[in-house]
Amino acid sequence: MSLLLSPLDALAGRLGLSPESELLALAVTHSSYAAEHNCESNERLEFLGDAVVDLAIADFIVREYPELNEGASSILRSRVVNEDSLAQAATRLGLASFLRIGRGVVKEKGLERPSMLADAFEAVVAALYLERGYEPARSFVQTILADDVANASSASDTLDPKTRLRQWAEAAGLGVPVYDVASSGPSHDMMFEATVSIGAALRASGRGRSKKRAETQAAEAAWKGRIDA
């Protein structure tokens, strides 16, 4: 007996797929249902969807948070592409009402498991990717998870000093920090000094062996000495 509680029309419409899509039907077929009905499960789609979601969020972070370094970007991505976050995305989509699961899982209230919901989300993304291509899949993932990325990016240990300072300044209505960098010394041993100002107020300065390092030091100094708006 199928546990497909409502037709796939609404979900298919949101994805731009046909309600008769075989891939979409497969995406909502859990292994417990497949074992009882001798059919294929969504596990292979989940495997593919995991990679598509990971790439889409990495792409989003690189485009929308250009000041994040590799380490901070990896932390941010891991805080969004994980079981809990994807399960919440699945819940927002109402995927639980579409899932086909086995009788044993029904008795165990398996639809409440974050792992099952996260896997289903990835499988649905894979179905979209295979039927319509990467761009629609990327757009869908980024739209669904944009707020999750924004929320995760607000954690102070995720952001590099320049991004953290910029977000604070913008939130306080002070505008975007402006950096002015000067260099000194011979080309083989050059030193950079950066000053950062926000609005009309000179906030701080920093020094380093590279322009980026000097700006980072200035941003860190400004952050530590900031005046709460």
What pLDDT score was predicted for residue 228? 44
| pLDDT (tens digit per residue) in 156-195 | 556 678 888 888 888 888 889 999 999 998 876 789 999 9
The rounded percent of the chain whose pLDDT value lies above 90 is 50
pTM higher than 0.75: no
Can you name the CATH fold of 9-153?
Answer: Ribonuclease iii, N-terminal Endonuclease Domain; Chain A (1.10.1520)
Annotated active-site residue 122? The verdict is yes
Active-site residue, from 46, 67, 119, 122: 122
Average pLDDT, integer, range 28-57: 95
Q: Are 32 and 100 in contact (CB under 8 A)?
A: no
CATH code 3.30.160.20 region(s) in the chain: 161-224
| pLDDT (tens digit per residue) in 108-136 | 666 668 888 999 999 999 999 999 999 99
Check whether 2 has a pLDDT greater than 90. Answer: no
The rounded percent of the chain whose pLDDT value lies above 70 is 90
Q: Which residues contact 102 (CB under 8 A, 6 or more apart)?
A: 30, 32, 33, 35, 36
CATH code 1.10.1520.10 region(s) in the chain: 9-153
What mean pLDDT, rounded, does the chain reach? 87
What pLDDT score was predicted for residue 3? 42
What pLDDT score was predicted for residue 6? 46
What is the Cα–Cα distance from 51 to 126, expressed in whole angstroms? 9
What is the Cα–Cα distance from 123 to 125, expressed in whole angstroms? 5
Can you name the CATH fold of 161-224?
Answer: Double Stranded RNA Binding Domain (3.30.160)
Annotated active-site residue 54? The verdict is no
